[in-house]
Amino acid sequence: MHQLPLQEKHRQQFLLQAQMNQQQLLQLVMQLIYQSWLTILFLHLTVFFWKMHQNLPLVDF
């Protein structure tokens, strides 16, 4: 079994690492979007229920 030239070996490791980093970044972005969406939803519901409780007219904010 012949060995890959060292440079080629490094290149492949680098590409693999870059691919993994890209996937991690994508997961992080998806997580952030999901969390901020949940937060916004929660805030909207809170304001909505608070307004109902106060018997205020439901005004879009």
pLDDT in tens, 5-58: 889 999 999 999 999 999 999 999 999 999 999 999 999 999 999 888 887 666
Residue 55 DSSP class = T
Q: Report yes or no on 34 lying in a domain.
A: yes
Q: Residue 35: what residue type?
A: Q
CA distance 47 to 53: 10
* Predicted pLDDT at 35: 96
Whether residue 61 is predicted with pLDDT greater than 60 in this model: the reply is no
Beta carbons within 8 Å of 59's beta carbon, 6+ residues apart: 51
- Stated pTM of the model: 0.54
The count of structural domains within the chain is 1
Q: Report yes or no on 47 lying in a domain.
A: yes
Q: Residue 55: what residue type?
A: N
The residue segments making up the domain with residue 41 are 25-53
CA distances from 41 to 23, 29, 30, 51, 57 (A): 27, 18, 16, 15, 20
* Predicted pLDDT at 6: 85
Per-residue confidence at 60, pLDDT binned at 50, 70, 90? low
Q: Report yes or no on 59 lying in a domain.
A: no
Q: Report yes or no on 60 lying in a domain.
A: no
